[in-house]
Amino acid sequence: MDFWNSRNVFVTGASGLLGSWLVEELLDRGANVTCLVRDWVPSSRLFSEGHLDRTNVVRGELEDFGLLVRVLNEYEIDSVFHLGAQTIVGTASRSALSTFEANVRGTWNLLEACKTNDRLIERVVVASSDKAYGVHETLPYTEDAPLQGIYPYDVSKSCADLISFSYFHSYGVPVAVTRCGNLFGGGDLNYNRLVPGTIRQALRGEAPIIRSDGKLVRDYFYVRDAVQAYMRLAEALPGEKFTGQAFNFGTETPVSVLELVDVILQTMGRKDLKPTILNEAGNEIPKQYLDCTKARNMLSWSPAYSLGEGLSETISWYGNHLGYAPAKNAAGVR
């Protein structure tokens, strides 16, 4: 029998990129899924592909502590995936207060609710980010690198990590933290992000817009690999070697913004398009990439998709979603 069959699972941030794919996988593996949904976004995969119809839906916000306690208790939740957050760096820079409310208060509210329902809760996975590490001269990041975010989004993730560990060490909440590279995949409707924005512009025959100087280096991580990573970690909880721990997940193949745009255009057969570089992005860490040795050794996990394979699937999804003919894939891109 599958590990997830008949488990009662609560997913915050269910309508987001990762949430929609995770919910689909959990449902397919027999879980009883309850979703926390703040905004009704019909174009989200969770809505448009019918996954929400197969779940329990709770409308509300992470800032509502009483709501979280009620949901965990009434739906007898045993497994929690905390993905809900304000995830856009630019939005965080424009509105630090709302980011801290969602990402920091939201995290302590959820963990306090889990503590309140400790007889039910068996595992909690909190979604963090490589941005929790902040700026480091020595890369790649390992899990023991200090958390030293300085910009609003980065700080919110550093704080959420520390709060998670506090609830483990102080109260025994069976929590673990994931720190992933930049997620991409079909269903990301934030077109100000690099991958969906570049794909949409290329489908329209427009020059991709790069808001940075194009030199920022990141680890880009396909969402379907991320789903398997999250589930693998959750299945290891509440094992004593895994609770109270953080795990890096990524491809360990850092690329610059310009390099990634070039791969996307090559995969789509649109090398005729040349990106426009605005060089106006602020509050960004110059270089970020992860060492995933811990996940490989302790969880026997590794990504199944190369960057090129993930991008090919992603491009196909947007082509269908936006009503364009299937994109022409360049041979040999991996």
One of 153, 220, 230, 305 is an active-site residue; which one? 153
Q: Residue 159's pLDDT is what?
A: 97
Answer yes or no: are the C-beta atoms of 278 and 197 closer than 8 Å.
no
Both tokens assigned to 63: 């800032």
Please state, in angstroms and as integers, the Cα–Cα distance from residue 119 to each residue in 77, 112, 173, following that order. Answer: 10, 13, 11
Q: Residue 330's pLDDT is what?
A: 40
Greater pLDDT, 40 or 266: 266
Q: Residue 332's pLDDT is what?
A: 37
> Which amino acid is residue 12, in one-letter code?
T
Q: Which residues contact 137 (CB under 8 A, 6 or more apart)?
A: none
Answer yes or no: are the C-beta atoms of 262 and 57 closer than 8 Å.
no
Q: Residue 309's pLDDT is what?
A: 96
Q: How far apart are CA 22 and CA 31, in angstroms?
A: 11
| Mean pLDDT (whole number) for 51-59 | 96
Nearest to 113 by CA among 56, 60, 51: 60
Confidence of residue 326 (pLDDT cuts 50, 70, 90): low
| Mean pLDDT (whole number) for 325-334 | 44
Nearest to 294 by CA among 229, 227, 237, 222: 229
Count, residues in the chain: 334
Nearest to 313 by CA among 26, 83, 19, 21: 21
Listed by start position, the domains of the chain span 8-182+222-249, 184-217+252-287+304-321
Nearest to 32 by CA among 6, 1, 53, 13: 6
SS3 221: strand
What is 184-217+252-287+304-321's CATH number, 1.10.40.60, 3.40.50.300, 3.90.25.10, 3.30.1360.120?
A: 3.90.25.10
Greater pLDDT, 87 or 28: 28
Query: Could you tell me which CATH number the domain at 8-182+222-249 has?
Result: 3.40.50.720
Indicate if 167 belongs to the active site: no
Q: Residue 87's pLDDT is what?
A: 79
Whether residue 334 has pLDDT greater than 70: no
Whether residue 43 has pLDDT greater than 80: yes
Question: pLDDT tens digits for 193-247?
Answer: 999 999 999 999 999 999 999 999 999 999 999 999 999 999 999 999 999 999 9
Q: Residue 322's pLDDT is what?
A: 93
Average pLDDT, the chain: 94
| Mean pLDDT (whole number) for 151-179 | 97
Greater pLDDT, 97 or 331: 97
Q: How far apart are CA 332 and CA 170, in angstroms?
A: 51
- Lowest-pLDDT choice from 7-21, 22-36, 64-78, 319-333: 319-333
Q: Residue 301's pLDDT is what?
A: 97
